[in-house]
Structure 1
Amino acid sequence: MAGILFTSRRTRSQILRRSREIASALTRHGLGWLMVRVGLGGFVPFERGWFGHEARETPYTRAEHLRMALSELGGAFIKLGQALSTRPDFVPPEYVVELSKLQDSAPPVPFDDICQVFCNEIGQLPEKIFDEFNPQPLASASIGQVHTGKLKNGQPVIVKIQRPDVAGQIEEDLEILSGMAEWAEAHTAFGRNYNLPALVDEFAFTLRNELDYQREGQNADRFRRNFAGDPSISIPRVYWEFTTDRVLTLQRVGGIKVADMSALDAAGIDRHIVAENSVRIMLREVFEFGFFHADPHPGNFFVQPDGSIAMIDFGMVGRLDVNMMESLLRIGMAVGRQDAERITDEFFAIGMANANVKRKALQRDLDHFISRYAGRSIKDLAATKTVDEVMAIALRHHLQMPAELVMLFRVVGISEGLGAQLDPNFKLFEFATPYMQEFWLKHRSPKAIALRVGQTALDAAELGLTLPQHISRLIGQVERGELELNVNHEGLRDFAHRLQQMVNGLAFPLLLAATIVALGFMMIVYHPAFWD
């Protein structure tokens, strides 16, 4: 099929049928060129395709056609469109705006079918477990639908139940998307510049997590632990006895939607307090826990009478590991010094920029970007505008932004917009400054630096142990002709032999020195009793 290899356990006829559906939907909307670009040209009778959409006086744009096609395809493709709408580093602004209009809704599954899924997972029908269970769904989406109920003890709950066979359908779509991405990478500059297989893998990982309701429950529990004792936020309890991979039962929370300004005013709630609480929660998630709610649209946050926030929907979360936080710190320091060269170095070091990126052009744009902000007070900065400029640079230079970083930028932008909506005088950067300063000092304290240096020394010790073995393997590959090199040196073998002898001679001193340094820093940091 157009040179694409599929390895799914789904039958070839299923894959072919779904591929034709995809090609048909896209070509109906004049997107046959896209099918040719990603390797499904064999399904397109002519590149521009045929049209079956409703006509209108003003012609539809390509972005509108793509949104309509993805909406028709449903399932994973709606999720794909929503994911692309959060990637301004990858798609042009007009597509971001249009794809953000995609609504993940679907006709409800018949109640008997939903009850069967529940019974298969929990072992009993809903009426045996709940005192009340509403057969009409509160919401119905492409993966599952939500019903309200009440436990035997009177506790109101919401029950999220997965649609029958949705997992198999999504895996089929992911298989097709993966094949298209691999074909495009192998045959087009577009695919190579953006490393499409990696992007599809990220999307597949996120979507499979959304299919696992137990993981969503675990995320909710982690948020509850992180914010235990914080009166500004409440997280619903998970009822694990009624939760599986395909059923999630949560305490039901109420309140006023955070973006309903008229309702907040009618209830006499101080909107400035709500703005501070919502942004404070986000800042603690990012700087304190490195674990944040990555789907912060207003429907997932409810304001309580005291101005505190109740949070729901934990299927999409972001994680910032130590390495990413360290990279952000180094980039932040380089920005403060107006050192565009160091920022460029960091982009290459963390894999945002690959060999196809023109280094000098990227550095020039970064230098222009940071010079415009030199000397300006942080309270005068707008997070959304700053992030948009960074994303424009990423798009222009084909940078591959880590998914976690893109999610973080999105969360910051939404938080700033919500804060300004709640209180027009609210400035996110000004409010966030103390949190950023505390985080900076925490990660630049002598103890934190000593720990990192000690870890680096231990890593060096491990490298000293394994380096001769790796070099020996490399030399063997060269001698057997298994490794292609872009140089041809007459004395390569003799040089490699001398290199191996030199490394063998250095390995033990290197290992010994690194171990001594590591132990020294461990003594300083942990200060064991025998040290005295």
Structure 2
Amino acid sequence: MVTQSIRRYREIIRILSKYGFGALFLEDISPGLAKMDLQKRLHPELDGYTKYELMRFAIEELGPAFVKFGQILSTRREMIPPEVYDELIKLQDKVAPLPYETIEPTIVRYCGPVEDAFQSFEKEPFAAASVSQVHRAVLHDGTKVAVKVQRPGIRQVIEVDLPIMRKLAERIEKLEPDLAVYNPTRLVDEFVTQIYKELDFVHDGQNADTLNRNFVENPKVKAPKVYWEYSGTELLTMEFIDGVRIDNVDAIREMGVDPSSIAEIGFQAYLQQIFIDGFFHSDPHPGNLMVTREGQLIFIDFGMVGMVRPERRDTFIEVLLAFVNADVDMLLECFETLGIKIDEEKKEQLKDELYYVLQSSQSSELGRMDFGSAMSSAPDVLNRYRVRVPPSLMQVLKVIWMIFDVAIHLDPKFNFNARVRPYMTDIMRDRYASQKFLRQIPSAMMNLTQGVVALPKAINNVITKVSKGQFRFEITSREISGLSTSIDASTDKLVMGLVIASMVIGSSLVLNAPIISSYPPVYWIATFIYISAIALAAVLLFKIMNRKP
């Protein structure tokens, strides 16, 4: 392993030096090496390319771990310079396929002898990437399947590269102070977690099963069925589905399918995944989305998925609506809810720039918004002000941006605002009308009531401790009993005020719920409580104003 690491270090140094980044390793040994510009002298064919293009060439030559890191990093646009982002999104993950004889042992390990598991198996893959390749096959019952096989030894290759990548990140932080603010080492640590998930094909298959369960009532959206008896950590056998890429508009029309209907299905499917299910396919590039003759939208490759916890979904909805409505105040309120820190001294200036970005994204055509324009500019503004947005939120916005671009490609008249506003409103209404939410109302009211009821006991405990001398006060009074009576009277009024306040607040929340008109008994009970609270408040106020001195 040590020998392999040393050999890999040498290879990485050679590649980085070729593209002008050798100083990351050699600057300490030979200070000023970067200024010598050896890359132009030794590789004149690379002259004329920007340093960001050379960075992309280097990443692609460094291999699968670095390519995957670059692809995942491209989803964190708010944490990288815009010039770096523009090159990372161009990264290609294409390699020559391995011979069948090389991957056959993996197939046998998970499926047994190939002829026993499959009626036929195509030895030439129809797709190949740095981590895996995919073959067509047919089961003995005639079912067509796609067999995804992990490249033998790829895990070991990546495991050798990961510690080297972290060392490189540490060197970047040391030699490039301007880039240190992006915290390269933390980005590498996040990547390590993600890449191990992608190397586990069981994880991929389980994610496909989850999407199918979530869309069991929607026949227009599905993922390939997984055949678990022929699957494992390094091999995944899935239903083979004939279809075309979602960005092939001409082929979609030739199948008799309306591209605009696919745009609608895809957009609605992602809104459900993110804001209702809290589980979504987070890599919706056109190669991972297919359309069938039946007009179905097929999701493939579940190595990258996102999760949104229930308590964050409402806030994410408000963030999206803030973009749609160009509401900067709502956007910053959502940031505060999410615990995002903003420098108070720069807050007004940040609001001005965000307002300009959101207003500029509003199309001159009434009711339309260029979400892509907003998402291409907003991260740069946040980056300049060192606003660190949670990865889950940026992942959600990135996915919506990508699917919006696909929808526009399918239907140039696709209206983002017209789709988002009513859908978000329906989600919020359904959420507050759900049995789960209605069951939470009595519990919340009970907790509030218990707090109010417990207050006199807490005050009494304080008085008891005072009377036992556990608190030391110097009170000039001849009548301690008079003081106690006065405190009791004040406590009674305080408790009554809290009870009245809780009744007013609780009944007001119920009366202002969007779906209250659908529940007449609840409406009249809340109205009665509200009126009673107002009456009690009036009586209490009258007694206080007429209190004898």
Please tell me the TM-score bracket, short chain as reference. Answer: 0.7 to 0.9
Compare 303-312 and 161-170 and name the one that shifted more. 303-312
Q: CA deviation at 1:420?
A: 1.3
Compare 84-93 and 273-282 and name the one that shifted more. 84-93
Q: Distance in 2 between matches of 1:60 and 1:187?
A: 22
Which of 1 and 2 has greater Rg?
2
C-alpha contact (below 8 Å) 2:357/2:374 kept by paired residues? no
Structural mapping, 1:249-288, within 5 Å? 249-288=237-276
1:95 maps onto 2:80 in alignment: no
1:55 maps onto 2:42 in alignment: no
C-alpha contact (below 8 Å) 2:20/2:38 kept by paired residues? yes
Q: CA deviation at 1:161?
A: 0.8
Q: Distance in 2 between matches of 1:434 and 1:360?
A: 37
The residue that corresponds to 1:148 in the other structure is 136
Q: CA deviation at 1:412?
A: 1.2
Distance 1:448 1:366, change over 3 A: farther
Compare 332-341 and 43-52 and name the one that shifted more. 332-341
Distance 1:43 1:434, change over 3 A: farther
Aligned counterpart for 2:33 among listed residues 46, 57, 62: 46
Q: CA deviation at 1:341?
A: 6.8
Q: CA deviation at 1:306?
A: 3.4
Over residues 344-379 of structure 1, what are the superposed CA-to-partner deviations in whole Å (9 max), with x where a residue is unaligned? 5654664654xxx64432542234423665796993
Q: Distance in 1 between matches of 2:188 and 2:323?
A: 31
Q: CA deviation at 1:73?
A: 0.8
Aligned counterpart for 2:297 among listed residues 309, 312, 315: 309
Aligned AA (2:220): S
1:325 maps onto 2:317 in alignment: no
Distance 1:372 1:106, change over 3 A: closer
The residue that corresponds to 1:20 in the other structure is 10
Distance 1:70 1:332, change over 3 A: closer
The residue that corresponds to 1:484 in the other structure is none
Distance 1:30 1:273, change over 3 A: same
Compare 263-272 and 248-257 and name the one that shifted more. 263-272
Question: TM-score by structure 1 length?
Answer: 0.75
Compare 208-217 and 74-83 and name the one that shifted more. 74-83
1:232 maps onto 2:232 in alignment: no
Matched position secondary structure for 2:57: helix
Distance 1:132 1:365, change over 3 A: same
Distance 1:54 1:413, change over 3 A: farther
Aligned AA (1:251): E
Distance 1:82 1:374, change over 3 A: closer
Q: CA deviation at 1:237?
A: 0.7
The residue that corresponds to 1:465 in the other structure is none
Distance 1:337 1:182, change over 3 A: same
The residue that corresponds to 2:103 in the other structure is 114
Question: TM-score by structure 2 length?
Answer: 0.73
The residue that corresponds to 1:177 in the other structure is 165
Q: CA deviation at 1:115?
A: 0.4
Q: CA deviation at 1:186?
A: 7.2
The residue that corresponds to 1:413 in the other structure is 401
Structural mapping, 1:512-523, within 5 Å? none
Q: Distance in 1 between matches of 2:83 and 2:282?
A: 22
Q: CA deviation at 1:218?
A: 0.2
Q: Distance in 2 between matches of 1:456 and 1:428?
A: 42
Q: Distance in 1 between matches of 2:429 and 2:353?
A: 28
Q: Distance in 2 between matches of 1:157 and 1:455?
A: 55
Distance 1:213 1:40, change over 3 A: farther
C-alpha contact (below 8 Å) 1:167/1:211 kept by paired residues? yes
1:73 maps onto 2:73 in alignment: no
Structure 2 unaligned segments of length 5 or more: list them.
Answer: 452-471, 473-497, 511-549
Q: CA deviation at 1:96?
A: 2.2
Structure 1 unaligned segments of length 5 or more: list them.
Answer: 1-9, 462-497, 499-512, 525-532
Q: CA deviation at 1:431?
A: 1.3
C-alpha contact (below 8 Å) 2:326/2:358 kept by paired residues? no
Q: CA deviation at 1:61?
A: 0.8
1:64 maps onto 2:59 in alignment: no
Q: Distance in 2 between matches of 1:97 and 1:373?
A: 21
Aligned AA (1:87): R
Q: Distance in 2 between matches of 1:29 and 1:456?
A: 67
The residue that corresponds to 2:354 in the other structure is 369
Q: Distance in 2 between matches of 1:42 and 1:19?
A: 16
Q: Distance in 1 between matches of 2:221 and 2:392?
A: 23
Over residues 182-212 of structure 1, what are the superposed CA-to-partner deviations in whole Å (9 max), with x where a residue is unaligned? 5655786446522333211221111111100
Structural mapping, 1:486-501, within 5 Å? none
Matched position secondary structure for 1:238: coil
Distance 1:350 1:20, change over 3 A: farther
C-alpha contact (below 8 Å) 1:340/1:363 kept by paired residues? no
Q: CA deviation at 1:54?
A: 6.6
Q: CA deviation at 1:426?
A: 0.9
Distance 1:188 1:65, change over 3 A: closer
Q: Distance in 1 between matches of 2:413 and 2:322?
A: 30
Q: Distance in 1 between matches of 2:71 and 2:274?
A: 23
Aligned AA (1:73): L
C-alpha contact (below 8 Å) 1:40/1:180 kept by paired residues? no
Aligned AA (1:294): S
Distance 1:239 1:337, change over 3 A: closer
Q: Distance in 2 between matches of 1:313 and 1:71?
A: 21
Q: Distance in 2 between matches of 1:455 and 1:212?
A: 46
Q: Distance in 2 between matches of 1:136 and 1:44?
A: 50
RMSD: 3.8
Q: Distance in 2 between matches of 1:457 and 1:97?
A: 52
Distance 1:100 1:393, change over 3 A: same
Aligned AA (2:98): V
Q: Distance in 1 between matches of 2:283 and 2:74?
A: 12
Q: Distance in 1 between matches of 2:248 and 2:308?
A: 31
Distance 1:337 1:96, change over 3 A: closer
Q: CA deviation at 1:105?
A: 1.4
Q: Distance in 2 between matches of 1:59 and 1:289?
A: 48
C-alpha contact (below 8 Å) 2:324/2:417 kept by paired residues? no
Matched position secondary structure for 1:145: strand
Distance 1:330 1:275, change over 3 A: closer
The residue that corresponds to 2:154 in the other structure is 166
Q: CA deviation at 1:43?
A: 9.2
Aligned AA (1:364): Q
Aligned AA (1:60): Y
Over residues 317-352 of structure 1, what are the superposed CA-to-partner deviations in whole Å (9 max), with x where a residue is unaligned? 111112432443565687799885775565466465
The residue that corresponds to 1:404 in the other structure is 392
C-alpha contact (below 8 Å) 2:146/2:238 kept by paired residues? yes
Q: Distance in 2 between matches of 1:321 and 1:271?
A: 33
Distance 1:411 1:178, change over 3 A: same
Matched position secondary structure for 1:137: coil
Q: CA deviation at 1:394?
A: 2.4
Over residues 476-527 of structure 1, what are the superposed CA-to-partner deviations in whole Å (9 max), with x where a residue is unaligned? xxxxxxxxxxxxxxxxxxxxxx9xxxxxxxxxxxxxx9xxx9xxx9xx9xxx
Q: Distance in 2 between matches of 1:182 and 1:196?
A: 7
Aligned-residue sequence identity (percent) comes to 31
Number of residues of Structure 1 aligned to a counterpart in Structure 2: 452
1:105 maps onto 2:94 in alignment: yes
